[in-house]
Structure 1
Amino acid sequence: MTKYFFKIAIVSLLIFASCTKDETTETSINIDISQKEPLTIEQVTQQIDQSFANKNSFNWKQASNHLLWSAIYQGQKIATIGFGSSATDFDRSKSKNNAKIQSQILDLIMQYEGKALDKVLISSDEYLNLIDVTIEKQETVIALRRTNLIRYIEPADYRYYESKGILERSSSSSGCGYESETLNSSDYTTITPNAKMPWTFTQHNIPAAWNTATGSGITIGVIDTGTSPNQSLLGSNFNNGLSSGRSIQKFGTYVDSIWPWSSTTDGPNDQCGHGTSMASVATAPRNNVGLPVGVAYNANLITYRAAANVVLEGYHEHNGVKNAFTALGNNASVKIISMSMGHIISVGKIEDGVKYAYNKGKLIFCAGGTSTSFTTFVGVIFPAWMPEAVAVTGVMEGTSNVKCDVCHTGSKIDFTIQMQRNSGSTVPVTSYYNSQSDYVGGSSVATATTAGIAALVWSKNPSWTRAQVLTKMKQSSTYYPTKNANYGHGNINAQLAVQ
């Protein structure tokens, strides 16, 4: 009996101590009266702009608790939490304690929010150590940042450009358009069997490289806005003319909904036009119908509709891109990933997706940035600035260090592609509709072109690793062995790269 009462006393003491500790933790969070109300969405954006003005950068990790909470609050009260035992602990399959850590984080959120699990947890990623949750209280954000359990906490649906009223999802400002244009005869050369070869290919000795490799046996994954259902050369006629024995697969990871709990994607079809252009310049067939050919015209292609447009803004676009990277990372047949989309602010879940694919051996090319009236103050954009990504930008014809009118430059750039002529013409591509062509410019087309060149190199050397392919491309570029401060290794000589 004495032992029984002794045990009860010990348990009671532990419970009391636990409660006291929790209460102390909560009461120790003191918020200044001036910061108890969230900033407006406009005020959040103003503070971010001030950071860009002062430091030419912004990162949520450096944001104040009040700013971070305000952005979460104004973005449907949704937060993304990347967790782990260290900064590099992002892969669930390699993380021993991920279930325990996730449970601890959710317990903390439920404690501070005063809500049950089903009112807190929105989603838990299958492959990455991250969760999406609802958070209303600033105290919750502060408590989470005090733990050693999280790698980052970010607003999951704060929309920088939308807050400025300068982005329409299907407009030219977001990289979209279904336009077609008659090509100037000086911007292409007709080659057998009846394809148009863009002028830029000659500048990079791609025709000479075709004598050695055409991309056969290599699979390129393009993460973008999807592929047109109305362009048969990127569909049922993918094997046309001198292109044969290859495959094209189309997937969709983008959910077109304002509701975070929605999970049904809107399919693989391009509803913007940008993704079709990128797929075209990388892999369009060497056709017999008089349309532009792609760089790696015998490579396999997998496309993902991961976003509505090229500016990665909002919960479902972030998820779509992250899911596309993990899917391509898990696809053993994929060697190369090309993405010509991005943002001026980093996104933790996309970073995790890029790292996941990179750790699976993928060679990842990302666009360095294409300027608009509202991004001229930014250098290389996210995720091109990541060390796991190969950043590409565009330069003027006949140069390696004169950027195109709308192209970004900076120390993170790795390669350049000549994609703008003095006349103003850019790169001819197969367009959204059958029998039609168009011009596409910026770092977007430069990135897809570079991915195609990488496929030529890997096709010539199928046993090579990613590092060997990348080294060969560097050795075949303008500035090797040094690196230009703003233009990286410069223009790639594709003929030299496949020798």
Structure 2
Amino acid sequence: MKKTVFLLAIFFALNSCSREDLQNENVRTEMSQKDPLTAKQINERINQAIKTDGTFNWKNESDHFVWSAIFRGNKMVSIGFGTSKDDFDRSKSPNSNDIEKEVLSVIKKYEGKEERNFLLLSDQYLNQMDVVIENEETVSALRQMKNIRYVEPADYHYFEFEAQYNAAAKSSGSGSSGCGFSSSTLSTADYTSTAPSAKIPWAFAKHNIPDAWSYSTGAGVTIGLIDTGVSPEQSLLGGSFNSGASSGRTISKYGVYNSDGSGDQCGHGTKMASVMAAPRNNAGLPVGVAYNANLIAYRAAENVVLETSSEQTAVKTAFTELGNNTNVKIISMSMGHIFSVGKIEDGVKYAYSKGKLIFCAGGTSTSFTSFVGVIFPASMPETQAITGVKENTSNQKCDVCHSGSQIDFTFQMERASGNTVPVLSYYNGQADYVGGSSVATAATAGIAALVWAKNPSWTRDQVLTKMRQSATYYPNVNSSYGYGNINVLKAVQ
């Protein structure tokens, strides 16, 4: 009997220890589940989604995944609210203030903080705000609300993290993507001369742009450029914007990134402004496509990769301000990200709703993003996605250009020699080359200005239709290159 009691005591003791161990294990598991994923795990999931599905969107991920990225991104969150996915415009959303108050009250409840301690920004034009969130429960509660359009990490540095774990990313130098201040001696084979003393880039003749100038030079049309700014040292994009055969127009420069002015600190924006609208000068330097168009240039980013919260907010601001500018007809942006950003998407939709014709770069690869198709926001239906192709082709992308079903037009920008398109340099009196889908986009925006200047009473859709009708594949669409190259002479006749 004593032996039986002893054995039972041992059994219950062992069983009790097992239950206690199991409970402790459950606690450890629960705690582990509440730990944020590592940046490496987050990036791996993003890459997998793009490779498998062709796209990545925070909306498709779990609360824990989104919160983990928020945690790894300085706890900054971008929230889009509204009664439907297209309810982005405050002026057309009568309930926006009430919805915003409801969102703020939920954050206050779950964060245990006053509004002043978590609200960073409330957009005056869009149903969008930036906040600081620490708790996963807050993210879950927000995503369950019926009037929430998106809850996204606002400052998750995908490329910075990728460089830590991916040798190819580290070697690509994504931190200075698209930047450069060099100057080059132009090959005489890469341009022809025109009065008064300007150089016409070789690519222009491939699209019959010089012949089109007999009908239109872009006069009266204003293009908005969203990029890294314009060099303060390049006088042809400053005090000499009206020089040579260019006259009666204006150039304006705004800085909405980091409050440090409108001056280009990268070099990319200067080159885009050049190919788009540089004057038909008497300085022996490259001329732009629409050399009599007006230009409004926004410095909205450090480089072409829209990685940080400050860059994404600045781009959103540039789109909304250009959208509200009734003088602007065309917007061009040769920057982007490999996945969608809600606040930028709102800005693009806002500008589009104001009748703007928007051109965005289809993508230029770094050594570790060659698996990406058409980048954001060129992937949006509200934009015209542009890519670069090799000389004398309309279906052979340049060595670093992206292609895909979302491409709308192409522009020849790469020669057999490897040379690209001559443009103004960052420095006064000097020239350089620029390639990729970036220059293709800026050039196509200039082409649109020529068409619109020839037909000033036309709508965006009429201009776009004429451009399509004047392109290689019309009335068909190539599966990877859209309508192809535009015959600009045909487009302005």
* TM-score, L = length of structure 2: 0.92
In the alignment, does 2:317 pair up with 1:323? yes
Aligned to 2:453: 459
Query: Aligned to 1:299, which of 278, 281, 293?
Result: 293
**1:53, distance to aligned residue in structure 2 (A):** 3.1
Distance 1:169 1:126, change over 3 A: farther
Matches within 5 A, 1:19-418: 32-165=30-163, 166=169, 174-255=177-258, 265-418=259-412
1:49 alignment partner AA: N
**1:44, distance to aligned residue in structure 2 (A):** 1.5
Aligned to 1:4: none
Deviations 1:382-427 (A, max 9, x none): 0001000000000010000011100000000000000001111100
Give the Cα separation in 1 of the matches to 2:146 and 2:189.
Answer: 61
Give the Cα separation in 1 of the matches to 2:172 and 2:269.
Answer: 14
Give the Cα separation in 2 of the matches to 1:239 and 1:170.
Answer: 37
Question: Which structure would you say has the larger Rg?
Answer: 2
- Whether the 8 Å CA contact 1:167–1:174 is kept in 2: the answer is no
- Whether the 8 Å CA contact 2:176–2:303 is kept in 1: the answer is no
Identity of aligned residues (%): 66
**1:50, distance to aligned residue in structure 2 (A):** 2.2
Aligned to 1:496: 490
- Whether the 8 Å CA contact 1:167–1:173 is kept in 2: the answer is no
Give the Cα separation in 2 of the matches to 1:122 and 1:323.
Answer: 15
1:238 alignment partner AA: F
**1:70, distance to aligned residue in structure 2 (A):** 0.4
Aligned to 1:13: none
Deviations 1:63-117 (A, max 9, x none): 1111100000111111000000111100001100000000000100110111111
Partner SS state of residue 489, structure 1: coil
Give the Cα separation in 2 of the matches to 1:297 and 1:172.
Answer: 32
Aligned to 2:17: none
- Whether the 8 Å CA contact 1:161–1:167 is kept in 2: the answer is no
- Whether the 8 Å CA contact 2:88–2:127 is kept in 1: the answer is yes
- Whether the 8 Å CA contact 2:323–2:354 is kept in 1: the answer is yes
Partner SS state of residue 422, structure 2: strand
Q: Which runs of 5+ in 1 are unaligned?
A: 1-30, 256-264
- Whether the 8 Å CA contact 2:280–2:287 is kept in 1: the answer is yes
Aligned to 2:442: 448
Deviations 1:258-288 (A, max 9, x none): xxxxxxx111000000000000000000000
2:133 alignment partner AA: I
**1:173, distance to aligned residue in structure 2 (A):** 5.0
Matches within 5 A, 1:414-425: 414-425=408-419
Distance 1:88 1:226, change over 3 A: same
Query: Aligned to 2:475, which of 478, 481, 486?
Result: 481
Partner SS state of residue 432, structure 2: strand
- Whether the 8 Å CA contact 1:171–1:177 is kept in 2: the answer is no
* TM-score, L = length of structure 1: 0.91
2:248 alignment partner AA: G
**1:213, distance to aligned residue in structure 2 (A):** 0.2
- Whether the 8 Å CA contact 1:477–1:490 is kept in 2: the answer is yes
Give the Cα separation in 2 of the matches to 1:302 and 1:168.
Answer: 35
**1:168, distance to aligned residue in structure 2 (A):** 10
Give the Cα separation in 1 of the matches to 2:92 and 2:270.
Answer: 36
**1:46, distance to aligned residue in structure 2 (A):** 1.9
Partner SS state of residue 411, structure 2: strand
1:383 alignment partner AA: P
Give the Cα separation in 1 of the matches to 2:465 and 2:476.
Answer: 13
Partner SS state of residue 186, structure 2: coil
**1:149, distance to aligned residue in structure 2 (A):** 1.4
Give the Cα separation in 1 of the matches to 2:317 and 2:419.
Answer: 35
- Whether the 8 Å CA contact 1:368–1:385 is kept in 2: the answer is yes
Partner SS state of residue 79, structure 1: strand
Give the Cα separation in 2 of the matches to 1:229 and 1:58.
Answer: 38
**1:373, distance to aligned residue in structure 2 (A):** 0.3
2:446 alignment partner AA: G
Give the Cα separation in 2 of the matches to 1:185 and 1:319.
Answer: 42
Paired positions, count: 460
Of stretches 53-62 and 285-294 in structure 1, the one that deviates more from structure 2 is 53-62
Give the Cα separation in 1 of the matches to 2:49 and 2:278.
Answer: 42
Deviations 1:413-461 (A, max 9, x none): 0000000011111000011001100000000000000000000000000
Give the Cα separation in 1 of the matches to 2:485 and 2:30.
Answer: 54
Partner SS state of residue 97, structure 2: helix
1:175 alignment partner AA: G
- Whether the 8 Å CA contact 1:329–1:360 is kept in 2: the answer is yes
Alignment RMSD (CA, Å): 1.4
- Whether the 8 Å CA contact 1:170–1:272 is kept in 2: the answer is no
1:241 alignment partner AA: G
